[in-house]
Amino acid sequence: MSVETLTTISPSTNAPVVTRPGVSSEELARLPEIGQAAFRSFSQSTTLKQRQKIVTRALEILDKKKDVLARELTEQMGRPIRYTGAEIATAIKRGTYMNKEAPSVLGEEGIVNGEAEKGFRRFIKRQPVGVVLIIFAWNYPYLILVNSLIPAILAGNAVLLKPSPQTPTVVEQVASAFLEAGLPKDVIQYFHCGSLTQLEVIIRSPQVNHICFTGSVAGGLAVQKAASDRIVNVGLELGGKDPAYVRGDVDVAWAAEEIVDGAIFNSGQSCCAIERVYVHESIYDSFVEEVKKVLSNYRIGDPFDEKTQIGPVISKRAKETVLAHIADAIKKGAKDETPANETFENFPPNGNYVKPTLLTGVTHDMIVMTEETFGPVIPVMKVKNDEEAVKLMNDSEFGLTASVWSKDLATAEKLIENVEAGTVFINRSDYPSPDLAWTGWKNSGRGVTLSKFGFEQFVKLKSFHLKDYPK
């Protein structure tokens, strides 16, 4: 059987930019075996402090290369160059936080003692699970990867990394940095793969002890199905249809600026981007006008131009999906109120560009309010009161993040208590904080990354019940 060649197509030109050989079935079968041997050696020969030092050095190496990494991201996934360096910096900060937090969970502090009883000692320790398979997406690849990779390594596991074919160099850069930092060979292995059949083979391997997947709901269901014929934990970080509710007491100009950024940054290609906006009727018209003002000053264009704020979406297929959502909304009565903007009408040639689009008069009969769009669209719906807003926010199969925008923090906090989402914000959006649990409700996933709880999926509990020998 011949090995496939994977080609990365530039979203901004639709020309090939990177090619990588796939993995043969024979090579794929050996990866978990090699990983198991590396795991046993690594987990038994290193202490947590030693693993922390390796992580620290690896993050420092990545930091020194951040300009190169940023250019690779812009080329491969199309985010403007003015922003890609920030992903590297944020990934390093996130990794540094988890490295600092590790002793509280994985060290002596993390041992749970049982009730005191003469002649007995009882306690619970955390031990690494073994070989962790991490399958991760292209839209924020460094941020997504550190969520799982750092705690997995700190816990003493070996990892197999499967990147998106859209951003293949990410795993190469990360694996190289960790090897240079002193991580033993084969503790991190990676493979390039575009075949679901091949991926199913490694998911079903009994030598893979835990699976982390970040991507679409359809992709997550496929991974879960492939793993369903054996006992293995699967962590899923999936999509979102994240709502924002703008109450009538806000500074409308400020709220419009924040909402637009939360909705269309990275061309809207974030699982926690704002995809639905509910606005109190008392400020609805003025809010729409302010959003128009904000959008009129945005610049879409070549992602390598430092002035560009919005680049292309990832593929022709993604562009078609976004445009189909917009067309469905307009067909069902919504109005495109996107302001005039010269850069919205004159895109660079050949790329997958979609203008940031403001839709008003939307309803939940439109797919733009129910299905994940993953593009630069801002659908705005008028609501009469807080109760209606919360009801609509919860009217979704997704539950990743949600936000309420208000001067009245006490009332806003009461509202978010009733919102069905794993992370809720007041006066902020689109920010996974490393000290909080990142977890999806409903079809947005299961399992936790980040915070002290983010270590738990990479360890298993072992109870020790020790009785003194009778005298």
- Please identify which residue in the block is written with the tokens 């939307």: 362
Residue 414 CA: distances (Å) to CA of 390, 442, 464: 11, 21, 43
Q: Kindly list the catalytic residues.
A: 237, 271
Are 212 and 285 members of one domain? Answer: no
Are 234 and 97 members of one domain? Answer: yes
Asked, for residue 435, whether it belongs to a domain, the answer is: no
- Residues 286 and 380: beta-carbon distance below 8 Å: no
Residue 191 CA: distances (Å) to CA of 10, 99, 161, 398: 21, 26, 6, 31
Q: How confident is the model at residue 1 (pLDDT cuts 50, 70, 90)?
A: low
| Total domains present in the chain | 2
- Compute the average pLDDT of residues 249-264: 98
Helical (H) or strand (E) element with 189: strand 188-190
Q: Provide the CATH number for the domain around residue 63.
A: 3.40.605.10
Are 401 and 266 members of one domain? Answer: yes
Answering whether pTM is above 0.75, one says yes
- Compute the average pLDDT of residues 282-291: 98
Q: How confident is the model at residue 2 (pLDDT cuts 50, 70, 90)?
A: confident
Note the Cα 109 to chain centre separation in Å: 29
Are 197 and 285 members of one domain? Answer: no
Query: Using CA atoms, how far apart are residues 293 and 310, in angstroms rounded to an integer?
Result: 16
Handedness of CA 447, 448, 453, 455 (dihedral sign): positive
Mean pLDDT of the chain: 97
Asked, for residue 438, whether it belongs to a domain, the answer is: no
Are 148 and 184 members of one domain? Answer: yes
Asked, for residue 90, whether it belongs to a domain, the answer is: yes
Mapped onto helix, strand or coil, the DSSP state of residue 26 is: helix
Are 234 and 352 members of one domain? Answer: no
Mapped onto helix, strand or coil, the DSSP state of residue 36 is: helix
- Compute the average pLDDT of residues 438-448: 97
Handedness of CA 188, 43, 151, 457 (dihedral sign): positive
Q: How confident is the model at residue 279 (pLDDT cuts 50, 70, 90)?
A: very high
Q: What is the DSSP letter of 245?
A: E
Are 40 and 140 members of one domain? Answer: yes
Asked, for residue 471, whether it belongs to a domain, the answer is: no
- Residues 434 and 276: beta-carbon distance below 8 Å: no
- Please identify which residue in the block is written with the tokens 């919205």: 344
Are 460 and 357 members of one domain? Answer: no
pLDDT-above-70 percentage for the chain: 100
Q: For the segment 50-73, what is each residue's pLDDT rounded down to a tens digit?
A: 999 999 999 999 999 999 999 999
Asked, for residue 437, whether it belongs to a domain, the answer is: no
Are 392 and 307 members of one domain? Answer: yes
Are 197 and 271 members of one domain? Answer: no
Angle at 216 between CA 214 and CA 221, to 5 degrees: 90
Asked, for residue 234, whether it belongs to a domain, the answer is: yes
Are 205 and 324 members of one domain? Answer: no
Asked, for residue 409, whether it belongs to a domain, the answer is: yes
196 pLDDT above the threshold of 90: no
Q: For the segment 3-31, what is each residue's pLDDT rounded down to a tens digit?
A: 899 999 999 999 999 999 999 989 999 99
- Compute the average pLDDT of residues 209-213: 98
Are 374 and 319 members of one domain? Answer: yes
Q: Provide the CATH number for the domain around residue 402.
A: 3.40.309.10
Nearest to 210 by CA among 270, 151, 271: 151
Asked, for residue 432, whether it belongs to a domain, the answer is: no
- Domain holding 42, by residue range, is 5-238+444-466
Q: Which residues pair with 233 in a beta bridge?
A: 210
